Amino acid sequence: MYEFDWSSIIPALPFLGSGMVLTLKITVVAITVGIVWGTLLALMRLSGIKLLSLFATGYINLFRSIPLVLVLLWFFLLVPSLLSNLFNIPRSSDTRLVSAMVAFALFEAAFYSEIIRSGISSVSRGQFAAAHALGMSYAQAMRLVILPQAFRNMVPLLLTQGIILFQDTSLVYVSSLADFFGTAYKVGDRDGRLVELLLFAGAVYFIICFSASLLVKHYQKRKAI
Amino acid sequence: MISLSKVSKHYGSFQVLTDCSTEIKKGEVIVICGPSGSGKSTLIKCVNGLESIQQGEIIVNGISVNDPKTNLSKLRAHVGMVFQNFELFPHMSVLDNLCIAQTKVLGRSQEEAADRGLKLLDRVGLSLHAKKFPGQLSGGQQQRVAIARALAMDPICMLFDEPTSALDPEMVNEVLDVMVGLAQEGMTMMVVTHEMGFARKVANRVIFMDHGHIIEDASKDDFFNKPRSERAQQFLSKILQH
Ligand SMILES: Nc1ncnc2c1ncn2[C@@H]1O[C@H](COP(=O)(O)OP(=O)(O)O)[C@@H](O)[C@H]1O
Ligand SMILES: [Mg+2]
């Protein structure tokens, strides 16, 4: 019978905490950049300009058809050499974090843009007409009238996507970045307590994600009233 | 003030408007009526360029609406429009609804805009509701806010697309009263409506449309007393029965 021994967790908490900070950093950057870039992609796709909408459609389909792990690996391999070529940064310096952030942001943008596009379409066409009738330009109507309503309708979906992203950040283990999952793995491996540490990590992910989704549900209920 | 000459429009092969011509002078009130689907909404949306036209010409205040070189935003800023479904911005307070275009389109200061907005809310009898959101108001109140929002832009004319047809009957009059007031002050108005009481009271002329044609364009008295076309007669007898 396997004897559980949780004693290695407490002394490792600062290290695990630093891993959690990294996980949150990647999540927040990817959500923020992803939403901004995703909004632009959605606007391109909805714009009447053929070239832009073709580009956006291609981009979205591409990223939605490739496993995230592959995108991450490509960026770990690509970004360092790109950076060293462009900015003369030595190849050896650690760009793994930046690569991970860029990869997640670009990948998430494809998903966010689809959410945002449906959010924009959910605002009635009459709102556009009213904004135009008051003399607003297309850009003003979008920015002042359509997008604020679209985002308000989309908050739950965007947050849910953010929760998924928070879990997916654990995939940075392919570059042995010390995110929360990575640090847990390292500690468990070092102390020969992998099972305990992975169970602990799982519990932490579960608690955070489950409470976040409860919050989203609560928000939805409140909005429905 | 507003002139339409031989305006035609089609969606694909479907002809919505055919050779529509009319002339509206400053201070005139024109009521447009006709069966559903006859092109009334489309016609007045063409006047401020919300819909484009394929043939003919529309001139508003000396500016050709269908000229591709025309700055439509600039023109629309001074052509008020009121919609059947109010189309207030639900994420803004009533006062912000009145201010947003004043500040962002006309470049007025926030104070100036709020000042003007509050005056107009007072005029439509809603100054106590400035801080509420549109969703908290009744339909009639929302439509009065929508009228105030259009007036805040100091429009040279006002377009109404069935402003009372989405309202419960008991709220129709509060909106019509505001519109009658506007008409009596000399506002140039194009009003799509089936409220014949309103037409009798303030209209100078009545236009009757059917299948995208202007069938009748007559003075109010002529229209009500002796409509020339059979279709207008049928239409009138139908709606006057109700
Ligand atoms: N975007 C559109 N595409 C195709 N047909 C349309 C469109 N908008 C309106 N129509 C058609 O044009 C006709 C006139 O519509 P409308 O101007 O709304 O009529 P009314 O306001 O008199 O009821 C209707 O038959 C309608 O189905
Ligand atoms: Mg209509």
Residue in the structure block whose two tokens are 């008991």: B170
> Measured from the CA of B43, which atom of ligand 1 is nearest?
17
Quick one: which H or E segment has residue B125? none
Fold of A9-224: MetI-like fold (1.10.3720)
Domain extent listing, chain A: 9-224
Chain A contact present for B101, CB below 8 A: yes
Mean pLDDT of B138-165: 95
Sign, Cα dihedral of B8, B12, B15, B16: negative
Residues with CB under 6 A from ligand 1: B 11, 14, 16, 34, 36-42
Q: How far is B151 from chain A (nearest CA, A)?
A: 10
**Tell me: the pLDDT tens digits for B156-173?**
999 999 999 999 999 999
> Ligand 1, from B7, B11, B17, B210: best to mutate by most atoms within 8 Å of Cβ?
B11
Phi, psi of B59 (to 5 degrees): -120, 125
ipTM attached to this prediction: 0.92
Phi, psi of A211 (to 5 degrees): -65, -35
Ligand of minimum distance to the alpha carbon of B161: 2
Annotate chain A with three-state secondary structure.
Answer: CCCCCCCCHHHHHHHHHHHHHHHHHHHHHHHHHHHHHHHHHHHHHHCCCHHHHHHHHHHHHHHHCCCHHHHHHHHHHHHHHHHHHHHCCCCCCCCHHHHHHHHHHHHHHHHHHHHHHHHHHHCCHHHHHHHHHCCCCHHHHHHHHHHHHHHHHHHHHHHHHHHHHHHHHHHHHHHCCCCHHHHHHHHHHHHCCHHHHHHHHHHHHHHHHHHHHHHHHHHHHHHHC
Q: How far is the CA of A30 from the centre of ligand 1 (A)?
A: 44
Hey, whose CA ends up nearest to atom 10 of ligand 1? B16
Hey, whose CA ends up nearest to atom 5 of ligand 1? B11
Per-residue model confidence as pLDDT tens for chain A (225 residues)? 678 888 888 888 899 999 999 999 999 999 999 999 999 999 999 988 999 999 999 999 999 999 999 988 888 887 777 777 777 766 666 778 888 898 999 999 999 999 999 999 999 999 999 999 999 999 999 999 999 999 988 888 989 999 999 999 999 888 888 899 999 999 998 888 889 999 999 999 999 999 999 998 888 887 765
The mean-pLDDT minimum among A18-27, A172-181, B75-84, B136-145 falls in A172-181
Query: Do the bridges between strand B2-11 and strand B79-82 make them parallel or antiparallel, or are there none, so unpaired?
Result: unpaired
Q: How far is B208 from chain A (nearest CA, A)?
A: 24
Hey, whose CA ends up nearest to atom 9 of ligand 1? B42
Q: How far is B73 from chain A (nearest CA, A)?
A: 4
Give dist(CA B165, CA B176) in Å, integer: 11
Ligand of minimum distance to the alpha carbon of B14: 1
What is the rounded average pLDDT for all residues in chain B?
92
Predicted structure pTM score: 0.87
Give dist(CA B180, CA B173) in Å, integer: 10
